[in-house]
Chains A and B, each alone.
Chain A
Amino acid sequence: MISDFPPAAILILGALLVPFFKGKAKNWYVILLPAAAFYLISQLEVGSSWQVHFFGFDLTFLRVDKLSKVFGYIFTLNAVAAFVYAFYLKDNTQHMAALLYIGSAIGVVFAGDLVSFYFFWEVMAVASTFLILGRKTEKAQAAGMRYIMVHIFGGLCLLAGMVIYITETGSIAFNAITDRNLGTYLILIGLLVNAAAPPIHAWLPDAYPEATVTGGVILSAYTTKTAVYTLVRGFPGWEILIVVGCIMTLYGIIYALLENDMRRILAYSIINQVGFMVCGVGIGTIMSLNGTVAHAFCHIIYKSLLWMSAGSVLYMVGKSKCTDLGGLYKTMPWTLIFGAVGALSISSFPGTSGFTSKSLIIDGAIHEHLMWVWLVLEVASAGVFLHAGIKFPYFVFFAKDKGLRPGETNKGMLIAMGFMAFMCIFLGLYPQPLYNVLPYEVPYQAYTFTHVIAQLQLLMLSALVFFLFLKLLKRTETISIDTDWFYRKGGRLFYYVMDKALNGINSVSERIFVGGLAGYLGRVSRDGPTRAAILVMVPAWVIGGAKGEKLAVKKANVRAALRTGTSPIGITAAIATIFLVVVFFLM
């Protein structure tokens, strides 16, 4: 039956065959796989499932409901676009890693139990690392290493939490979690590592900008959004997530404003956008959860589009720092136009998809009378236009002409960007198809006159501030210190302290034990017999009448005899006796 075949298997098994295809056939093949998975997901009936009995557990590799389906749709749709974008790429490793990564992300959203969920979750972490290492630069190697270490940490938190949770509840089912104890908080931390919530977020802006051109596009969509899915599934209505989400929205903006590297700006804006979604999960009403899912859906599209346009620039120019870029509108007009659609979309500009999805979350906050949350989200919405909506396109395509004349990027990239830009505008003008596939049925109308005007006021005044404050925003050739400092510099500091402390202890011990104590013991054991012999013999000689010089000569004779091992039998016997007496007492 087609209706109970896990769609993840198409991509994961399909990945194994990639090396057998040559030339363009390889590229068509990798496009076809997610397209087939998309079709399969559209055929899955809500309520169906596929279970396997494994080591005493009933593993549910397929749990179909509206929530898993909507994520399945967008994951496969985005994969098709990403592989069209990567039509120039012949690298087997990157294609296989991407398919495994996307396949296991789909595996996570269709997993009905914690065990299979955890399995796919870890495969994701490993496979995605190869999209970073694929850049083959020293920086990418180091960033990839840090990336996998952080994810191993997150995975261990998750595993520990799951073990506690499963032991307590006796069930491996993965549904909404209501208990609040050590186990569930550990699970939450594990998920928030992947959602890139501060302070455990620095892996994202550290690693994604070091990834390959297409790797960045693919990475931007799956890890954080899979985490959003698991939060919607497992932690709806956990108030702490409102706070976490609000912090994320502002944190991302501040760092994106400081950044110079265009892909790092986009990386920080992922944190900002996921913040809106996490906040929606925390609010936990039907409307805000719908908003989170809708926003994740639209976000994947416009964020991929933004990474695609930045990727095209990197691909053509080989540079990604704002200080090296500028004036590209002259030779890369299509990349600019598509990128600008993505930039407007992420800013929730009326007429684009961000407007029809983010409004659901903000209205969710209003309906619950959460004034501060609403205010933070509105401030953050204005800030998005600042850092992603204007800063990114302005410094890359306009600003100062740096004399770069790369020409437009390749056709595959343009087609993929054109498709994603179309989707942004389509879902912005006609969001009903998206609303239809959301987990809950809530009638919603984003386009009221006052709402559109309010949003336009917010955004246009943000634009005005950007250009008024342009001098303050002048790019500098700098990086920004983030929490990865603790394991990058902090690690070295730790090494330095340990080096000094442990080696200090080492040298002190050497002086005391090797030089001092051992030498003393050596002297004692060498001179011991002589001293003992003299101690015993002297009274005998004194009684025998030896005095002064004669006594000294006798002592010297014994010392010399013992040192050379040529002592008279009597003395040897005496020493042996003393030794035996000592041993006897010691025993």
Chain B
Amino acid sequence: MQGEKMRPKKEFDYFDRPENKRKLWIMLYVVCAALVVPDFFTQRHSYFGFDGFLGFYALLGFVSCAVLILFSKLVGLALKAKEDYYDK
């Protein structure tokens, strides 16, 4: 209902505009970089020897997600099927 009322007026389309997308990209990079800064000033307790170094969790997040995506892409080659696969 709200949508119908809004439609004649100007629609809220912030996320569709290329200039805003650019802003959001820059923001994302800035936030990621800024989050590593505190590691220069604080000493995180290392539990397993290798997990205390600078930006460890940032690296872990990046690498594990990249691996997960690539791996799922790979197994997807074998596991993806047409939607009517089971109907045939």
Chain A: residues with CB nearer than 8 A to chain B? 250, 253-255, 257-258, 327, 329-333, 366, 369, 371, 374, 378-379, 382-383, 385-386, 398, 401, 405-408, 449-450, 453-467, 469, 472-473, 476-482, 488-489
Contact for B42 among A258, A449, A477, A478, CB less than 8 A:
A449
Contact for A465 among B1, B31, B65, B75, CB less than 8 A:
B65
Chain B: residues with CB nearer than 8 A to chain A? 1-4, 6-7, 11-13, 15-16, 25, 28-29, 31-32, 35-36, 38-39, 42, 44-45, 47-48, 55-62, 64-66, 68-73, 75-76, 78-83, 85-86
Bound: A467/B82 CA distance, A: 26
Bound: A401/B11 CA distance, A: 13
Q: Which residues of B contact A406 (CB under 8 A)?
A: 3
Bound: A466/B61 CA distance, A: 11
Q: Which residues of A contact B72 (CB under 8 A)?
A: 253-255, 257-258
CB atoms of B58 and A461 under 8 A apart: yes
CB atoms of B3 and A405 under 8 A apart: yes
Q: Which 7 A-B pairs have the closest CB atoms?
A: A407-B3, A331-B3, A461-B61, A465-B65, A457-B57, A379-B64, A458-B61
CB atoms of A405 and B80 under 8 A apart: no
Contact for A405 among B7, B44, B62, B65, CB less than 8 A:
B7
Given contacts A258-B79, A329-B15, A458-B60, contact A408 B65 (CB under 8 A): no
Q: Which residues of B contact A455 (CB under 8 A)?
A: 57
CB atoms of B2 and A408 under 8 A apart: yes
CB atoms of B29 and A464 under 8 A apart: yes
Given contacts A379-B60, A463-B28, contact A386 B65 (CB under 8 A): yes
A-B contacts, CB under 8 A, total: 156
In the assembled complex, 17 residue pairs joining A and B whose CB atoms fall closer than 8 Å, in A order, are A254-B75, A333-B12, A379-B60, A405-B7, A408-B1, A450-B45, A453-B42, A454-B56, A459-B61, A461-B58, A461-B61, A462-B61, A462-B65, A465-B65, A467-B28, A473-B69, A481-B80
Q: Which residues of B contact A258 (CB under 8 A)?
A: 72, 75-76, 79-80
Bound: A479/B7 CA distance, A: 35
CB atoms of B69 and A478 under 8 A apart: no
Q: Which residues of A contact B80 (CB under 8 A)?
A: 258, 476, 478-481
Q: Which residues of A contact B13 (CB under 8 A)?
A: 330
Bound: A366/B7 CA distance, A: 53
Nearest B residue to A380 via CB reads B64
CB atoms of B69 and A407 under 8 A apart: no
Bound: A167/B39 CA distance, A: 59
Bound: A254/B31 CA distance, A: 27
Residue of B70, B78, B81 most packed against chain A (CB within 10 A): B81
Q: Which residues of B contact A378 (CB under 8 A)?
A: 57, 60, 64
CB atoms of B61 and A457 under 8 A apart: yes
Bound: A374/B57 CA distance, A: 13
CB atoms of B32 and A464 under 8 A apart: yes
Bound: A378/B78 CA distance, A: 27
